[in-house]
Chains A and B, each alone.
Chain A
């Protein structure tokens, strides 16, 4: 059974008698899935993990009443947040996997693989240490969102997007250089 239910923003919801789902889900999924994966991949440095995060994000979105017009921004922010949350919870598991030599990529040069994994580990650790708002703004900007889109998604002024991104980039570089020199 499919019925219409009025929710804020005029989102159509279909219901199977239990939970309700959005009628526009499939269309929005197809239009936004690649970008959601791309945002999560920038945080996680792993495509497999990014696709897992994208599933989580769209599951939440499926039950939400986010207006269709705001879906793209919502999904990008949710992808960044969920991926940053994964950084923290998955950190120890990732360390164990790396220690066991499990790598997702097939790489001809073992030394390159080790260097890449180590760099990714450092980037992930540095992102996890940034203030959350800075980290999200940084990831969204580097995923190709415009200043206006980042501003709308994070509910900040367009003017402060540049400042936030600038601070995040500076902090990221300092973090990575600090750890590179102390290793």
Chain B
């Protein structure tokens, strides 16, 4: 007979009763399996030693309970104040940028959420460029092609009077630029956006319609995916914009709380693997997304290969992505620190945006 799997050998160490008699008999008589079993035992003992050593038997549940009760009491009013729908930017949020971003966050966030209610499954901690021909990026489906996208708190970008108002509105520190690139003059104007929230409900029927419209037949969706819900949030954000005397801003320094996704219970890999398996997602894009680490912390930054080139660098010790337009008219650098995306971009050179990024000051 064939050797039992390494998983069966592993289980034999913990739960021998869970292993079939035939497998147990084989393993007892098979030198190859005995050898594998010994290796599994050593690795298991090693892991046990590595993960142990923190005594938690005498935790004070009483004190912890009163701490939790206090936290709930404080948190409730704060949560209640965030429900304030604004209609203006509905269209902007629906298509295509934010909805497309929603797909990106969902397929990139591979953390498993085997829970019945919202569990964070994606938290932006780094950004990685995904480069593809523009034609492929344009055909990337957006979330409303796969189900119902309901925007509960929409993007509402508005100008504010100055840096203090911007910080007050967003709770984000606004950095000061030490030295402006040559040709960029004057004072910036400040713009802020509140946190945006959207709820996405997957629909097998809608996905089928989308595929049919694209002339494709899809593999059947995993049954638990139909009707499963994902919550997406991003923001608030703030931008300082230097546009004096120009139709296009000369320089923008922007910060925003990076997108986060929550799952209502479907194992997250189920959604990601299914979406990436669909023939309507261009294969070169899907393969780059599949290559992302499985921990749900990498936000893809889609770039049209004909227009932009990108390279990796560091800002403040954080990995950063520099992008430059092929005609040299535009450059930017973007990085994530502690869940906040910061971007410096403008109609300047890559060296100039990097010099601005390195020179940002956080004190005033």
Given A34-B59, A138-B47, A146-B15, A55:B119 Cβ within 8 A: no
Number of interface residues of B (CB under 8 A): 59
> How far does the alpha carbon of A88 sit from the alpha carbon of B336 in the complex, in Å?
13
Which residues of B have CB within 8 Å of A128? 295
> How far does the alpha carbon of A51 sit from the alpha carbon of B293 in the complex, in Å?
28
Which residues of A have CB within 8 Å of B297? 88
Most buried by B among A19, A139, A155: A155
> How far does the alpha carbon of A43 sit from the alpha carbon of B47 in the complex, in Å?
12
Which residues of B have CB within 8 Å of A141? 14
Q: Check A55–B43 contact: CB distance below 8 A.
A: no
Which residues of A have CB within 8 Å of B15? 146-147
**Chain B residue nearest to A62 in the complex (CB):** B72
Q: Check B68–A89 contact: CB distance below 8 A.
A: no
Q: Check A164–B7 contact: CB distance below 8 A.
A: yes
A173: interface (CB < 8 Å)? yes
Q: Check A30–B61 contact: CB distance below 8 A.
A: yes
Given A21-B72, A163-B6, A78:B48 Cβ within 8 A: no
Cβ-neighbour of B267 out of A26, A30, A155, A163 (below 8 A): A155
Inter-chain CB contacts under 8 Å: number: 186
A86 to chain B, nearest CB (A): 11
B79: interface (CB < 8 Å)? yes
**Chain B residue nearest to A167 in the complex (CB):** B6
A76 to chain B, nearest CB (A): 10
Which residues of B have CB within 8 Å of A78? 115, 119
B188: interface (CB < 8 Å)? no
Q: Check B72–A59 contact: CB distance below 8 A.
A: yes
> How far does the alpha carbon of A46 sit from the alpha carbon of B116 in the complex, in Å?
28
A169: interface (CB < 8 Å)? yes
Q: Check B113–A160 contact: CB distance below 8 A.
A: no
Which residues of B have CB within 8 Å of A172? 43, 46-47, 50
Q: Check B44–A169 contact: CB distance below 8 A.
A: yes
Cβ-neighbour of B64 out of A55, A81, A85 (below 8 A): A55
Q: Check B56–A165 contact: CB distance below 8 A.
A: no
Given A19-B76, A51-B64, A77-B115, A123:B11 Cβ within 8 A: no
A-side interface residues toward B, CB under 8 Å?
A: 8-9, 16, 18-19, 21, 26, 29-30, 33-34, 37-38, 41-43, 45-47, 50-51, 54-55, 58-67, 70, 73-74, 77-78, 81-82, 84-85, 88-89, 116, 119, 123, 126, 128, 131-133, 136, 138-139, 141-142, 146-147, 153-155, 158-170, 172-173, 176
5 nearest interchain CB pairs?
A162-B7, A163-B7, A64-B117, A162-B10, A162-B11
Task: Supply 28 A–B pairs (Cβ within 8 Å), ascending by A.
Answer: A21-B72, A34-B56, A43-B51, A47-B59, A55-B71, A58-B68, A59-B68, A59-B71, A66-B116, A74-B114, A77-B119, A78-B119, A81-B113, A89-B338, A89-B339, A131-B295, A132-B295, A139-B51, A142-B48, A159-B8, A161-B7, A163-B6, A163-B7, A163-B10, A166-B10, A172-B46, A173-B43, A173-B46
B-side interface residues toward A, CB under 8 Å?
A: 5-11, 14-15, 18, 40, 43-44, 46-48, 50-57, 59, 61, 64-65, 67-68, 71-72, 75-77, 79-80, 110-120, 123, 125, 267, 269, 293-297, 338-339
